[in-house]
Amino acid sequence: MRPLTGQETGLTPPLCRILSACRMFMGLCVQYKDTMQIILPDRSVRTLSRASAPIEEILLELGINPTAVIVVKNGTIVPEDVTADESDEIRILRFSHGG
Amino acid sequence: MPGENRCSLCREPAVVRLIEPERRLCAAHFIEDVEARVLAAVRREQMVSPGDRIAVGLSGGKDSTALLLLLHRLLPSSGATLVAVTVDEGIAGYREETLKAAESLTAELGVEHVIVTFADLFGDDLDRLLTGREGQGCTVCGVLRRRALVEAVKRTGATKLATGHNLDDEAQSVLMNVLRGDLPHLVHDTSTGQPGHFVPRIKPLSVLSEKEIVTYLLLRGYFRDLPECPYAGTALRSEVRSMLAGLEHRHPGTMLRLMQFRDGVRRSARPTELAKALSTCRICGELTSGEVCQVCRLLGRG
């Protein structure tokens, strides 16, 4: 994000720097607000830029068959047809075969 | 999501959505539901009689762990007793951990535990027996493991053997037998046993999907992420598994309908179909469809 200039804002340079920092912080907040964390079976983390989506839809997008995994949303097991919202943590558990 | 994700029975947050009948269940009601379905299957199929000594095939993996937990909870009322049997094939980097899990579970539940090893029964462990034919791992192990279980059951004096086959396993076997055109195996029913050779086998978990079993274990705090067998996934089964998982998602109930199909075929098949094909192995005396059984052939005894 480009820093603001005194010409654009009519403010002194220190105030421009403060305003730029605030703008960057707000930008990060907005970015975080619209993402959800998906912890995949191999424990890698995918961040999706989505405000809200049914978990089943997310799984299919990731090429995962919902019948072959268990979904844990914010620490609790849930059916795949529940919706994940922004800032939710979704953990996908794949069970190894055999046993 | 249609409506709220609440338990159909108590309105607590639901952990699963099940079909036939369509319902959502919270953790406590899902555990009850699983136990009721297994108990109903045990009673419907008359799997257990008073006085039975049930040997539970316990590998230490998820299915057999769930099987022992369920039977330990459900059987006391039926007048039967339990003994766990474990086969240690000798698979480095895999069996050690599952064996430890099996031992810790039987100790916790206070269940007698008998362990037999490939080394004792067949002279060597699986890793060495497979030298030069690693690609046949599942086939060789399957044949030897079945024989090892028979031997373990004899040692315990059990009247029945319970195995952890789940709905996914059973539906996959039906489809594999169809794809191979193997009618004798499709209609072969091991629940009756073979006097003098095999005790009857029971499969109480065949009414539960793999996913339901893992959910049950997670909710009861018994799920362990154990390593997968290094020889797994080389056979037709892994292709059938993926195919069926896709069908089950797009057409829920597919696996149950496959089992209904198999039961229908069994009812209409002539019972003499398989019996006439069996004789005894001239080397070890166990049942076989030829002159020498698969175990003796694999071990180079013939």
Q: B279 and chain A: CB distance < 8 Å anywhere?
A: no
Q: Do B61 and A98 touch (CB under 8 A)?
A: yes
Residues in chain B within 8 Å Cβ distance of A98? 59, 61, 228-229, 232
Residue A27 predicted with pLDDT over 50: no
Q: Do B214 and A96 touch (CB under 8 A)?
A: no
B225 — pLDDT class (breaks 50, 70, 90): confident
User: CB within 8 A of B108, min separation 6: which ones?
Assistant: none
User: CB within 8 A of A10, min separation 6: which ones?
Assistant: none
**How large is the C-alpha radius of gyration of chain A?**
20
Q: What pLDDT, on a 0 to 100 scale, did the predictor assign at position A24?
A: 57
Q: A81 and chain B: CB distance < 8 Å anywhere?
A: yes
Mark whether B128 and B211 lie in a shared domain.
yes
Q: B29 and chain A: CB distance < 8 Å anywhere?
A: no
Supply φ then ψ for residue A77, to 5 degrees: -70, 135
- State if pTM tops 0.95: no
Q: What pLDDT, on a 0 to 100 scale, did the predictor assign at position A87?
A: 83
Q: Do B210 and A95 touch (CB under 8 A)?
A: yes
pLDDT tens profile B16-66? 999 989 999 999 999 999 999 999 999 999 999 999 999 999 999 999 999
Q: Which two tokens stand for residue B51?
A: 């006085």
- Separation CA B33–CA B23 (nearest Å): 11
Q: A62 and chain B: CB distance < 8 Å anywhere?
A: no
B193 — pLDDT class (breaks 50, 70, 90): confident
Do A27 and A4 contact (CB within 8 A), yes or no?
no
- Separation CA A70–CA B299 (nearest Å): 41
Domain membership of residue B280 as a residue range = 271-302
Instruction: Name residue, tokens 């090429």.
Output: A63
Residue B63 C-alpha, separation from nearest chain A C-alpha, in angstroms: 5
Coil vs helix vs strand at A45? strand
Dihedral sign from CA coordinates of B280, B282, B284, B289: negative
Q: What pLDDT, on a 0 to 100 scale, did the predictor assign at position A31?
A: 41
Count of the separate structural domains present in chain B: 2
Alpha carbon B68 to chain centroid, angstroms: 12
Mark whether B258 and B278 lie in a shared domain.
no
Mark whether B289 and B255 lie in a shared domain.
no
User: Does residue B25 belong to any structural domain of this protein?
Assistant: no
Mark whether B95 and B243 lie in a shared domain.
yes
- Separation CA B118–CA B121 (nearest Å): 5
Residues in chain A: 99
Q: What pLDDT, on a 0 to 100 scale, did the predictor assign at position A35?
A: 76
Alpha carbon A23 to chain centroid, angstroms: 20
Q: Which of B24, B64, B249 is the closest to A79 by Cβ?
A: B24
- Separation CA B127–CA B146 (nearest Å): 17
Superfamily of segment(s) A34-94: Beta-grasp domain (3.10.20.30)
Q: What pLDDT, on a 0 to 100 scale, did the predictor assign at position A28?
A: 41
**How large is the C-alpha radius of gyration of chain B?**
20
Assess: ipTM above 0.85. no
Mark whether B90 and B224 lie in a shared domain.
yes
Can you give the CATH number for the domain in which B62 is found? Answer: 3.40.50.620
A96 — pLDDT class (breaks 50, 70, 90): low
pLDDT tens profile B136-160? 888 888 899 999 999 999 999 999 9
Q: What pLDDT, on a 0 to 100 scale, did the predictor assign at position A30?
A: 39
Do B140 and B298 contact (CB within 8 A), yes or no?
yes
Q: Which two tokens stand for residue A27?
A: 């930008």
